Protein backbone atom coordinates (compact mmCIF):
# COMPACT_ATOMS: atom_id res chain seq x y z
CA UNK A 1 0.00 0.00 0.00
CA UNK A 2 1.50 3.29 -1.05
CA UNK A 3 1.25 6.50 0.82
CA UNK A 4 1.10 9.99 -0.50
CA UNK A 5 4.39 11.87 -0.08
CA UNK A 6 2.34 14.67 1.42
CA UNK A 7 0.90 12.46 4.19
CA UNK A 8 1.80 14.23 7.46
CA UNK A 9 2.03 10.90 9.30
CA UNK A 10 5.23 10.15 7.46
CA UNK A 11 6.80 13.50 8.16
CA UNK A 12 6.29 14.75 11.77
CA UNK A 13 7.85 18.04 10.87
CA UNK A 14 4.79 18.79 8.80
CA UNK A 15 2.46 18.30 11.82
CA UNK A 16 1.16 21.49 13.38
CA UNK A 17 0.29 21.93 17.05
CA UNK A 18 -3.38 22.12 16.21
CA UNK A 19 -3.20 18.86 14.28
CA UNK A 20 -1.49 17.09 17.22
CA UNK A 21 -4.15 18.30 19.68
CA UNK A 22 -6.92 17.10 17.40
CA UNK A 23 -5.25 13.71 17.06
CA UNK A 24 -4.91 13.36 20.84
CA UNK A 25 -8.54 14.29 21.44
CA UNK A 26 -9.65 11.62 18.98
CA UNK A 27 -7.63 8.98 20.81
CA UNK A 28 -8.63 9.98 24.34
CA UNK A 29 -12.22 10.77 23.63
CA UNK A 30 -14.30 13.31 25.55
CA UNK A 31 -13.35 13.73 29.27
CA UNK A 32 -15.87 14.81 31.92
CA UNK A 33 -15.24 18.13 33.65
CA UNK A 34 -14.83 17.20 37.37
CA UNK A 35 -13.01 20.27 38.58
CA UNK A 36 -15.99 21.50 40.60
CA UNK A 37 -17.17 18.13 41.96
CA UNK A 38 -16.15 15.71 44.77
CA UNK A 39 -16.46 11.96 44.89
CA UNK A 40 -18.69 10.75 47.77
CA UNK A 41 -16.90 7.51 48.56
CA UNK A 42 -13.65 9.06 49.92
CA UNK A 43 -15.67 11.56 51.96
CA UNK A 44 -17.76 8.78 53.49
CA UNK A 45 -14.63 6.80 54.38
CA UNK A 46 -13.09 9.90 55.95
CA UNK A 47 -16.12 10.53 58.19
CA UNK A 48 -16.30 6.85 59.21
CA UNK A 49 -12.61 6.80 60.15
CA UNK A 50 -12.96 10.05 62.15
CA UNK A 51 -15.94 8.62 64.02
CA UNK A 52 -14.00 5.47 64.91
CA UNK A 53 -11.07 7.52 66.23
CA UNK A 54 -13.39 9.69 68.34
CA UNK A 55 -15.14 6.62 69.78
CA UNK A 56 -11.82 4.91 70.61
CA UNK A 57 -10.48 8.02 72.36
CA UNK A 58 -13.68 8.42 74.42
CA UNK A 59 -13.67 4.72 75.37
CA UNK A 60 -10.04 4.79 76.51
CA UNK A 61 -10.58 7.96 78.52
CA UNK A 62 -13.53 6.45 80.36
CA UNK A 63 -12.46 2.84 80.87
CA UNK A 64 -8.64 2.85 80.90
CA UNK A 65 -8.46 3.45 84.66
CA UNK A 66 -5.89 6.13 83.97
CA UNK A 67 -3.65 3.28 82.82
CA UNK A 68 -3.06 2.21 86.42
CA UNK A 69 -1.48 -1.29 86.36
CA UNK A 70 -3.41 -2.33 89.48
CA UNK A 71 -6.63 -2.21 87.43
CA UNK A 72 -5.54 -5.38 85.68
CA UNK A 73 -4.29 -7.18 88.79
CA UNK A 74 -6.47 -10.28 89.09
CA UNK A 75 -5.36 -10.79 92.70
CA UNK A 76 -6.34 -7.29 93.82
CA UNK A 77 -9.05 -7.20 96.49
CA UNK A 78 -12.05 -5.15 95.24
CA UNK A 79 -12.55 -1.79 96.86
CA UNK A 80 -15.89 -0.14 97.60
CA UNK A 81 -14.58 3.33 96.77
CA UNK A 82 -12.51 5.87 98.65
CA UNK A 83 -10.13 4.51 101.25
CA UNK A 84 -11.53 4.63 104.75
CA UNK A 85 -9.69 6.91 107.15
CA UNK A 86 -8.76 4.93 110.24
CA UNK A 87 -8.94 7.15 113.34
CA UNK A 88 -5.78 7.33 115.42
CA UNK A 89 -6.10 6.18 119.02
CA UNK A 90 -4.97 9.23 121.06
CA UNK A 91 -3.67 7.01 123.87
CA UNK A 92 -1.45 5.06 121.46
CA UNK A 93 -0.23 8.26 119.82
CA UNK A 94 0.27 9.92 123.22
CA UNK A 95 2.35 7.02 124.52
CA UNK A 96 4.60 7.22 121.48
CA UNK A 97 5.07 10.96 121.98
CA UNK A 98 5.64 10.58 125.73
CA UNK A 99 8.45 8.08 125.10
CA UNK A 100 10.02 9.92 122.15
CA UNK A 101 13.62 11.12 122.45
CA UNK A 102 14.03 14.19 124.61
CA UNK A 103 10.36 14.31 125.57
CA UNK A 104 8.35 13.55 128.72
CA UNK A 105 9.81 10.20 129.81
CA UNK A 106 13.28 11.71 130.23
CA UNK A 107 12.14 13.48 133.39
CA UNK A 108 8.95 11.74 134.46
CA UNK A 109 10.21 8.23 133.57
CA UNK A 110 8.30 5.58 131.56
CA UNK A 111 6.65 4.50 134.82
CA UNK A 112 5.29 8.00 135.43
CA UNK A 113 6.96 8.01 138.87
CA UNK A 114 9.44 10.82 138.14
CA UNK A 115 12.69 11.21 140.09
CA UNK A 116 12.45 11.80 143.86
CA UNK A 117 13.16 15.41 144.88
CA UNK A 118 13.87 16.35 141.25
CA UNK A 119 11.07 15.57 138.84
CA UNK A 120 7.46 15.20 140.09
CA UNK A 121 5.49 12.02 139.44
CA UNK A 122 2.53 11.87 137.06
CA UNK A 123 1.07 8.60 138.32
CA UNK A 124 -1.64 9.49 140.83
CA UNK A 125 -0.70 13.18 140.62
CA UNK A 126 -3.41 15.70 141.52
CA UNK A 127 -2.06 17.83 138.67
CA UNK A 128 -2.38 15.13 136.02
CA UNK A 129 -5.85 14.20 137.27
CA UNK A 130 -6.99 17.76 137.91
CA UNK A 131 -8.74 20.28 135.65
CA UNK A 132 -7.83 19.87 131.97
CA UNK A 133 -7.27 23.62 131.50
CA UNK A 134 -4.58 23.56 134.16
CA UNK A 135 -2.42 20.81 132.62
CA UNK A 136 -3.03 22.24 129.16
CA UNK A 137 -1.42 25.49 130.31
CA UNK A 138 1.55 23.57 131.68
CA UNK A 139 2.36 21.72 128.44
CA UNK A 140 1.60 24.77 126.30
CA UNK A 141 3.74 27.31 128.14
CA UNK A 142 5.82 25.43 130.72
CA UNK A 143 6.09 25.62 134.51
CA UNK A 144 8.80 27.31 136.59
CA UNK A 145 9.40 27.41 140.32
CA UNK A 146 8.51 24.97 143.08
CA UNK A 147 5.50 22.70 142.71
CA UNK A 148 3.92 20.44 145.32
CA UNK A 149 2.74 16.96 144.30
CA UNK A 150 1.15 14.66 146.86
CA UNK A 151 2.59 16.76 149.67
CA UNK A 152 6.16 16.72 148.32
CA UNK A 153 7.90 19.76 146.88
CA UNK A 154 9.85 19.65 143.61
CA UNK A 155 11.83 22.68 142.51
CA UNK A 156 15.06 21.38 141.00
CA UNK A 157 14.07 21.76 137.33
CA UNK A 158 11.59 23.70 135.20
CA UNK A 159 8.97 22.15 132.95
CA UNK A 160 9.68 23.24 129.32
CA UNK A 161 7.07 24.49 126.88
CA UNK A 162 5.88 21.89 124.38
CA UNK A 163 3.42 24.13 122.55
CA UNK A 164 5.61 27.06 121.56
CA UNK A 165 9.23 27.55 120.47
CA UNK A 166 11.37 24.49 121.00
CA UNK A 167 9.17 21.44 120.71
CA UNK A 168 6.34 23.39 119.05
CA UNK A 169 3.99 20.41 119.10
CA UNK A 170 0.64 20.68 117.31
CA UNK A 171 -2.65 20.77 119.20
CA UNK A 172 -3.31 17.15 118.16
CA UNK A 173 0.00 16.00 119.65
CA UNK A 174 -0.50 17.91 122.88
CA UNK A 175 -4.01 16.52 123.25
CA UNK A 176 -2.79 12.98 122.64
CA UNK A 177 0.04 13.08 125.17
CA UNK A 178 -2.18 14.66 127.83
CA UNK A 179 -4.88 12.05 127.21
CA UNK A 180 -2.27 9.32 127.64
CA UNK A 181 -0.92 10.83 130.87
CA UNK A 182 -4.43 11.28 132.30
CA UNK A 183 -5.39 7.66 131.57
CA UNK A 184 -2.14 5.79 132.28
CA UNK A 185 -0.62 4.41 135.54
CA UNK A 186 -4.04 4.21 137.17
CA UNK A 187 -5.01 7.81 136.33
CA UNK A 188 -8.66 8.15 135.37
CA UNK A 189 -9.10 11.76 134.20
CA UNK A 190 -11.13 12.65 131.09
CA UNK A 191 -9.43 12.83 127.70
CA UNK A 192 -8.19 16.12 126.25
CA UNK A 193 -9.03 17.13 122.67
CA UNK A 194 -7.26 19.32 120.14
CA UNK A 195 -10.18 21.75 120.44
CA UNK A 196 -9.48 22.06 124.18
CA UNK A 197 -5.85 22.93 123.43
CA UNK A 198 -6.83 25.45 120.74
CA UNK A 199 -9.32 27.15 123.06
CA UNK A 200 -6.69 27.68 125.79
CA UNK A 201 -4.09 28.79 123.25
CA UNK A 202 -6.54 31.39 121.88
CA UNK A 203 -7.66 32.59 125.31
CA UNK A 204 -4.16 32.97 126.76
CA UNK A 205 -2.13 34.01 123.72
CA UNK A 206 1.64 34.43 124.05
CA UNK A 207 3.14 34.42 127.52
CA UNK A 208 6.02 33.13 129.62
CA UNK A 209 6.01 29.97 131.74
CA UNK A 210 3.45 29.66 134.56
CA UNK A 211 4.08 29.37 138.28
CA UNK A 212 2.27 26.84 140.44
CA UNK A 213 0.46 29.64 142.31
CA UNK A 214 -0.88 31.08 139.04
CA UNK A 215 -2.06 27.67 137.86
CA UNK A 216 -3.88 26.99 141.12
CA UNK A 217 -6.20 29.91 140.24
CA UNK A 218 -7.42 27.90 137.20
CA UNK A 219 -10.39 25.80 138.13
> In the chain, what are the domain boundaries?
90-215
Helices (DSSP H) in the chain: which residue ranges? 17-28, 40-63, 90-98, 105-108, 132-141, 171-183, 194-204, 212-215
Query: Would you say 182 and 189 are in contact if contact means Cβ atoms under 8 Å apart?
Result: yes
Whether residue 10 has pLDDT greater than 60:
no
Query: Based on C-alpha coordinates, what's the Rg of the chain?
Result: 47
Q: How far is CA 40 from CA 43, 46, 50, 155, 196, in A?
A: 5, 10, 15, 100, 78
**pLDDT class for 40, splitting at 50, 70, 90?**
confident
Mean pLDDT of 100-127: 91
Whether residue 41 has pLDDT greater than 90:
no
Q: Which range among 15-29, 52-66, 73-87 shows the weakest confidence by mean pLDDT?
A: 73-87
Query: Was domain 90-215 assigned CATH 1.10.760.10?
Result: yes
Whether residue 35 has pLDDT greater than 70:
no
Mean pLDDT of 78-96: 79
Q: How far is CA 106 from CA 12, 64, 110, 113, 176, in A?
A: 119, 55, 8, 11, 18
Is the pTM higher than 0.75? The answer reads no
Q: Which residue has the higher pLDDT, 88 or 20?
A: 88
Whether residue 125 has pLDDT greater than 90:
yes
Whether residue 154 has pLDDT greater than 60:
yes
Q: Strand, coil or helix: what is 116? A: coil
**pLDDT class for 21, splitting at 50, 70, 90?**
confident
Q: Which range among 51-60, 81-90, 92-101, 160-169 shows the weakest confidence by mean pLDDT?
A: 81-90
**Mean pLDDT, the chain, whole residue set:** 83
Amino acid sequence: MSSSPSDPRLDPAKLTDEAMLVAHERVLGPQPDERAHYRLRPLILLFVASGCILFAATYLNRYSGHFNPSIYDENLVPSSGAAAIVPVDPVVMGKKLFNSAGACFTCHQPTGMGVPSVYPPLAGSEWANGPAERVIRIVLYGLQGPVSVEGKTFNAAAMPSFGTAGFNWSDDKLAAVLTYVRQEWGNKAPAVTADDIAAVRKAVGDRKAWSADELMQVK
